[in-house]
Amino acid sequence: GDSVTQMEGPVTLSEEAFLTINCTYTATGYPSLFWYVQYPGEGLQLLLKATKADDKGSNKGFEATYRKETTSFHLEKGSVQVSDSAVYFCALSGNNAGNMLTFGGGTRLMVKP
Amino acid sequence: EAQVTQNPRYLITVTGKKLTVTCSQNMNHEYMSWYRQDPGLGLRQIYYSMNVEVTDKGDVPEGYKVSRKEKRNFPLILESPSPNQTSLYFCASSFQVGETYEQYFGPGTRLTVT
């Protein structure tokens, strides 16, 4: 079945540092790929998405490129802020009737001033 | 404001005492689903509904029931809760954008079963 693997956290960075959170996936066919962010005490919010190979999703300074050859969708940001501290989830949506998202385990990011 | 609401937000109960977690969305979405979040496992889908009176099992449906009598509501029912159902639960509704579906998540319900 489909699966998503992302780097375990926590990831601790200083403000303005470069961020990379790795995500790789296993799926049949051509899934859509997503990054969700969960701030403390809140539900998940869609951060960005990509629906086909070589697509780049971007939002709020975050970027991720759909790499079919390496089955990866790594999240990057050039300069993190304290307000980016949250848990980040990589997810895929395959060809299933329930629009089910398959999630990675989540990576907690802590940004220190 | 477009939103998914869940109630209660926090619940502590005892083994075997039936409970219902409500979910409501105001976006007229056809698709709704329930997920549970456990440390290191991400979110796993419990049940989903493609429209009124149409529901089906997700990845981890054992011990749960759902109903979809109205488009806006999708309650999650635990007939006889057990400690292994202690978790953080999220309701989501989704709509189609191009080739994909985007999901809106509720704020979560933290359930503890003792």
Decide: residue B19, CB within 10 A, 0-12 exposed, 13-18 middle, 19+ buried. Answer: middle
Please give the average per-residue pLDDT across B14-34, as a whole number. 95
Q: Is A101 on the interface with B (CB under 8 A)?
A: yes
pLDDT for the residue A102:
87
Is residue B34 pLDDT above 90, yes or no? yes
Query: Percentage of residues in chain B with pLDDT exceeding 90?
Result: 79
Cis check: omega of the bond before A31, within 30 degrees of 0: no
pLDDT tier for residue A30 given thresholds of 50, 70 and 90: confident
pLDDT for the residue A9:
84
DSSP secondary structure, A40-88, as one string: TTS-EEEEEEE-STT-EEEETTEEEE-BTTTTB--EEESS--GGG-EEE
Question: A104 near A91, Cβ under 8 Å?
Answer: yes
pLDDT for the residue A36:
95
Chain B residues whose CB is inside 8 A of the A104 CB are: 42
Which tens digit of pLDDT belongs to each residue from B60-88? 999 999 999 999 999 999 999 999 999 99
Residue A66 C-alpha, separation from nearest chain B C-alpha, in angstroms:
15
pLDDT tier for residue A99 given thresholds of 50, 70 and 90: low
- Average of per-residue pLDDT values in chain A: 92
Task: Select the highest-mean-pLDDT range: A28-42, A97-111, B61-75.
Answer: B61-75
Question: B94 near A99, Cβ under 8 Å?
Answer: yes
Please give the average per-residue pLDDT across A22-40, as a whole number. 92
Nearest residue of chain A to residue B107 (CA atoms)? A43
- Average of per-residue pLDDT values in chain B: 93
Residue A91: which of A37, A20, A55 has the closest Cα?
Answer: A37
Beta strands A11-14 and A107-112 are parallel
Nearest residue of chain A to residue B88 (CA atoms)? A43
Query: Percentage of residues in chain A with pLDDT exceeding 70?
Result: 96
pLDDT for the residue A98:
60
pLDDT for the residue A97:
60
pLDDT for the residue A41:
82
pLDDT for the residue B70:
96
Instruction: Please give the Cα distance from A8 to A102 (Å, whole number).
Output: 17
Burial A11-44 (b: 16+ CB within 10 A, else e): bebeeeeebebebbbebeeebbbbbbbbeeeebb
Chain A residues whose CB is inside 8 A of the B101 CB are: 93, 99
pLDDT for the residue A1:
81
Q: What does the angle CA B33 – CA B79 – CA B47 come to, to the nearest 5 degrees?
A: 15
Q: What is the DSSP letter of B16?
A: T
User: Between A87 and A95, whose confidence is greater?
Assistant: A87
Please give the average per-residue pLDDT across B40-51, as a whole number. 89
Q: What residues does A29 pair with on adjacent strands?
A: none
DSSP secondary structure, B75-111, as one string: -EEESS--GGG-EEEEEEEEEEETTEEEEEE---EEE
